[in-house]
Structures are given as structure tokens and as C-alpha cells.
Amino acid sequence: MFGLIRLYHALPAVRSRCATIRLMDSIGRITADQALQLARRVLSIEARAVSDLASRLDRGFADAVRSILECPGRVVVSGIGKSGHVARKIASTLASTGTPAFFVHPAEASHGDLGMITREDVMIALSNSGESAELLTIVPLIKRQGAKLIAITGNARSSLATKADIHLDGAVAEEACPLGLAPTASTTAALALGDALAVALLEARGFGREDFARSHPGGSLGRQLLTFVADVMRTGESVPRVPAGAMLGEAILEISKKGMGMTTIVEDGDRLIGIFTDGDLRRTLERIGDLREVAVKEVMTRDPSAVGADQLAVEAVKLMEDRKISQLPVVDSERRLVGALNMHDLMRAKVI
């Protein structure tokens, strides 16, 4: 009897735990396993959509690349809805890889922004159906101005495709959306075609890492390729140096005062002849007990590694890493000392 009573009181807690387990294994109206299956299905459909594009590419793609490459103006990319978002991304990718481009909203174009487009421009219009009213409204005006029109659509017989000078086929077998309604695979395909255009143009222009860095001065690559030793080195009184006739005690004081973990040794108008570091001091202490009568010239590292002020800061980083050192003198063409830098300077400049 008492066992039945205890079981009766325990039932709500058991039911609660079971409900919690079911909740943890479900996401809304589907289970976690169903969510994973749906995700894999979406990725497979979109991957297949992009893969199918490769087999359908024809001379039209090469013509599009040539038209943009020969364009004396800029590339104007346009689309409405989800295609508009893709168009913005394509314009951004083109602009950052050497092809001047910008996005124009087709609805705004009908209310004045059409004046941003000239006869020297090339327009890329995106519409999966090829029947977007906002785009079709401005197409005759674009054509009348004399600008070349490239269309990316999923229907080669659509109004936009037939009116375009060049058509790129972005058709997909199916959308990843289970309802077949939300643009998913079709927008991925259009985005991939835009990337393909950008990369082909990048190669055709000979656009390199240095060009990319100039377009991305705020990024890590920009800092690496646009920062020179002269931008980060220490100069003037901040550079540790002692004359060739200095005693070791004077060199140690200079190391301590300038806080770079080393001092340079110079002669005859600041010509660099050696360097003495914290590491050299430790090694000297092991060999020589009394340092009071030791000249720095006797224990310095002769003809040390150095860089020029006009070299890239990343070159200084590589030299330090290769030589397993953390400080470098900076010299001119006649090996006169003009500055110094260490790893901390390069870190502060975010070169590394």
C-alpha cells in the first residue's frame, strides 16, 4: 500500500523528466535528427546547383568578362529582393578585387538614381525569374543610354534574358526550400556566378596581393603589405647606441635605459659595426667573471643582421624569425644606423 502511495507521488516528477528529455531532443516541431537531415539536404541541393553551373558555362561567360574588362566606366549591379542582396555582395566583391563597381536599387533607379549610370558603364542585372517588374522598367532606358546589359537569370527565355546583350544561365533544378518558394539554391547559384566573374576579372587584370592590400588598408593583409620598417622603427634618441670604444658597463646602462633588450655599437659617423643584447650579456657572464674592465667591442656580435627603412615590416618579421632574434638595427645603404625595432614594435603596429 505504502509503495503504491510513493509511486503515485513520484509520477509527476517522472513525467516532468520525460518531458524534459523529449524537449531536449526536439526543436520546435522537428527533432534534432530531423534538423540535421534537413540541413544536409539543403547543403546537398545548393552544392549540386553550383556544380551544375560549371557544365553549363559557355562563351557567354567569356564575353561577359571581356565586356567588363573593356568597360571604360564602372560596373553597375542591380536586383530586387533576395537578388538585390546578392547583387550588393557581387558589387562589393568586384570593387575589392580591382573592378570598380557599385549597387543600384532598381526601384530607386526609376526615381532618379538612373542618372548614376552612363553609356560607358556595364550593368549586371539579377533576377531568377527574369521578370522582375522593377528591373524591366529600367532596362529600356539602360539600353537607350548605350550601356551594355548582362543578365543573370534562371530562365533563358525570360524578358530580362532576351533583352540582355549577354545572358548567364543561373537556373537550378530545385530550391532548397521544402516549399519550393524561398530563393535558396537560386541565390547561391547567382552568387557563385558573380564570384566566378570577379575571379576571372582579377586574373585578367593581373590583380595581386599588393593591389588587394590597397583596397583593404584596415585588414591584416593591408597592414602587412602597406607597413614599412620606417613606419614602426624607433628613431633619434630612442635608438640604443654606444661608440666602439665604450666599456661594457656603459653598454649595459644603455640597454637598461632604452628598454629594447640590446644596444648597437657604432663608429665613424654612426656606421653600424656590432650589437650587444641581453642574451650576449648572460653568455658573457658565464665566460668572464669580472666585467668592469671589458670593452663592449670585445664581446659584441660583429656585423649583425639589419634591415633597411624602406623594406616592408613583414620582411623584418621574417628575418627575425629566421635568425631567431627579437631586435633589429635599421640602416641605410652605407650601413649607417638610422633606427631600430623589436618584436614588440611590430606587435603594436599589428604587423604580427
pLDDT tens sequence across 68-93: 999 999 999 999 999 999 999 999 99
Distances (CA, A) of 344 to 225, 236, 317: 18, 18, 11
**3-class DSSP state of 226:** helix
Q: What is the CATH number of the domain that holds 236?
A: 3.10.580.10
Residues 53 and 158 in one domain: yes
Better-scored residue on pLDDT, 223 or 18 = 223
Residues 44 and 176 in one domain: yes
Which domain, by its residues, includes 312? 229-348
Average pLDDT, the chain: 87
Residues 194 and 283 in one domain: no
* Spatial CA neighbour of 306 closest among 262, 274, 343: 274
Look up cell 620598417; give the residue: 229
How many Å separate Cα 1 from the centre of its chain? 73
Q: What is the DSSP letter of 105?
A: -
Better-scored residue on pLDDT, 26 or 5 = 26
pLDDT at 209: 65
Residues 187 and 73 in one domain: yes
pLDDT at 210: 64
Q: pLDDT-derived band of residue 219, with 50, 70 and 90 as boundaries?
A: low
Number of domains in the chain: 2
Last residue of a domain, one of 207, 240, 268: 207
Given a cut of 90, whether residue 214 has pLDDT beyond it is no
* Spatial CA neighbour of 183 closest among 194, 171, 193: 171
Q: pLDDT-derived band of residue 153, with 50, 70 and 90 as boundaries?
A: very high
Q: Does residue 310 sit within a domain? A: yes
**Each residue of 279-313: pLDDT tens digit?**
888 888 888 867 778 899 999 999 999 999 999 88
Better-scored residue on pLDDT, 270 or 9 = 270
